[in-house]
């Protein structure tokens, strides 16, 4: 299943809703949307409610997003993270790096 990214924007905040798989094939697609989003927003939220899988390539994009957010004094909260993906974050230590709400 490919990754579907829906973008919702209000002044100062962008929310990306992700559906499907965030893996080696789809991570560049998210990176291309995520990193430039910090140029115009104080917060870039990622809604994971329909995300079914994340690979190490997906984790790398999230790490890059978090570093970009910090460098621009912005926030990148992760919303509605499914338990299976929370488990991946716990296992890899990303739950200590990312803001999961």
Separation between Cα atoms, residue 17 and residue 33, nearest integer Å: 12
**What is residue 26's predicted lDDT score, i.e. its pLDDT?**
97
For residue 1, is pLDDT > 80?
Answer: no
Cβ count near 11 (within 10 Å): 7
pLDDT of 25: 97
Q: What is the CATH number of the domain that holds 89?
A: 3.30.750.24
Domain ranges, residue 11:
4-100
Query: What average pLDDT does this structure show over 41-51?
Result: 97
Mean pLDDT of 77-100: 97
Domain count, the chain: 1
Residue 58 in this model has a pLDDT that exceeds 90: yes
* Residue 21 clears pLDDT 80, i.e. is over it: yes
Radius of gyration of the chain (CA): 12
Q: Which tokens in the block code for residue 53? A: 């899988």
pLDDT for position 2: 87
pLDDT score, position 76 = 98
Q: Supply the pLDDT for residue 86.
A: 97
Res 48: pLDDT: 98
What average pLDDT does this structure show over 43-64?
Answer: 97
């Amino acid at each position: 299943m490919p990754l579907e990214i829906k973008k919702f924007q209000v002044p100062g905040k962008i929310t990306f809703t992700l559906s499907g798989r965030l893996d080696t094939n789809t991570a560049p697609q998210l990176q291309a949307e995520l990193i430039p989003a910090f140029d115009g927003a104080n917060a870039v939220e990622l809604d994971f409610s329909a995300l079914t899988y994340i690979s190490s390539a997906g984790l790398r994009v999230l790490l890059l997003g978090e570093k970009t957010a910090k460098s621009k004094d912005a926030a990148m909260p992760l919303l509605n993270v499914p338990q299976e993906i929370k488990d991946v974050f716990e296992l890899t230590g990303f739950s200590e790096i990312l803001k999961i709400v």
